[in-house]
Amino acid sequence: MPELPEVETVRRGLAPHLDGALIEALVLNRADLRFPFPPDLARRVSGRRVLTLGRRAKYLLIPLDSGETLILHLGMSGRMIVERRGEAGALAEFHHDVTRLPQHDHVIFHLEGGTRVVFNDPRRFGSLDLRPSENLDQAPALSSLGLEPLGNALHPEALTALLAGRRMPMKAALLDQRLIAGLGNIYVCEALHRSRIAPDRPAGSLKGREIEALVVAIRDVLAEAIEAGGSTLRDFRHEDGSLGYFQHAFRVYDREGEPCPAPGCRGIVRRTVQSGRSTFHCRECQR
């Protein structure tokens, strides 16, 4: 499932096409994805102009001049594909993708000038909601989300308060979207390794310098992943069909059996299972 860097990469790729664009028509090729679409969704969106695209955790936010905002989640396989009119008038993708099947084009934004933005989702685990912009944080999808890890809200004092007294494993705490929003399995494994914190350590046991190192590691991992265009594992592609490349920079994720890359460490990257999910870490340097 796309994590925060992938969604942020999609947002940045879509912004030049959607920011300020007039949606001439919204076409829905089915009545639902993971959840049913809101009533009269096509009518409420058609004819509206997009303001400035945003993101909250793993959700893409598309605010409209009607005072409502589309809340879009890519799910496990969802993609936003941009098509534009060529010189001959035919629609063409920015980057041809032979894996795309048109029967999975479930939502189509027809923009002024002929550009189309297509939400393609083979597994239909994505979602699309429409809520009032003025109290967007009360929308069901967003109301329980925690701190944004890329915003100013995440700092050592805030993280100390969030973790205080918690006995849950450190990895589980970072994956809890009610505490920090947007972190997923890949980037939690990477951040814990960079900060040399064991994934099974009780969250409330971290001390000052460890928390400072973890905050820096979270920010650095996410920033580097966004710069690399996210990580491509299975289904993820950008809005133009191209792939993300941060998976080539993984230090521990999916590196089971390889030497630990931490300076001065002679350990081996191990894979364990926590709450049914793979955890990659080094027992030698992560304490």
pLDDT in tens, 208-223: 999 999 999 999 999 9
Average pLDDT value for residue range 68-74: 97
Q: Is pLDDT above 90 for 275?
A: no
**Domains (range + CATH), the chain:** 4-138 (3.20.190.10), 156-282 (1.10.8.50)
Give the catalytic positions in this structure.
Answer: 2-3, 58, 277
Q: What is the band of 243 on the pLDDT scale with cuts at 50, 70, 90?
A: very low
Q: How many CB atoms neighbour CB 1 within 10 A? A: 18
Give the sign of the dihedral formed by CA 86, CA 126, CA 183, CA 71.
Answer: positive
pLDDT number for residue 238: 43
pLDDT number for residue 99: 67
Mean pLDDT of the chain: 89
Half-sphere exposure of 146 (CA within 13 A, CB side): 18
Report the distance separating Cα 62 and Cα 57, nearest Å.
14
Nearest to 267 by CA among 195, 210, 212, 193: 193
pLDDT number for residue 269: 97
Q: How many CB atoms neighbour CB 112 within 10 A? A: 10
Q: Contact 232/169 with Cβ under 8 angstroms? A: no
Report the distance separating Cα 230 and Cα 73, nearest Å.
16
Residue type, 122: P
Q: What is the band of 102 on the pLDDT scale with cuts at 50, 70, 90?
A: confident
Q: What is the band of 88 on the pLDDT scale with cuts at 50, 70, 90?
A: very low
Q: Is pLDDT above 50 for 52?
A: yes
Q: Per the structure block, which two tokens stand in for 109?
A: 């934004």
Report the distance separating Cα 86 and Cα 248, nearest Å.
34
Q: pLDDT tens-digit profile of 158-198?
A: 999 999 999 999 999 999 999 999 998 999 999 999 999 99
Report the distance separating Cα 231 and Cα 186, nearest Å.
9
Report the distance separating Cα 251 and Cα 260, nearest Å.
8
Among 138-147, 225-234, 240-249, the range scoring the smallest mean pLDDT is 240-249
Average pLDDT value for residue range 76-93: 67
pLDDT number for residue 158: 97
Q: How many CB atoms neighbour CB 93 within 10 A? A: 16
Q: What percent of the chain has pLDDT over 90?
A: 73
Q: What is the band of 97 on the pLDDT scale with cuts at 50, 70, 90?
A: low
Report the distance separating Cα 184 and Cα 241, nearest Å.
22
pLDDT number for residue 85: 66
Q: How many CB atoms neighbour CB 260 within 10 A? A: 22
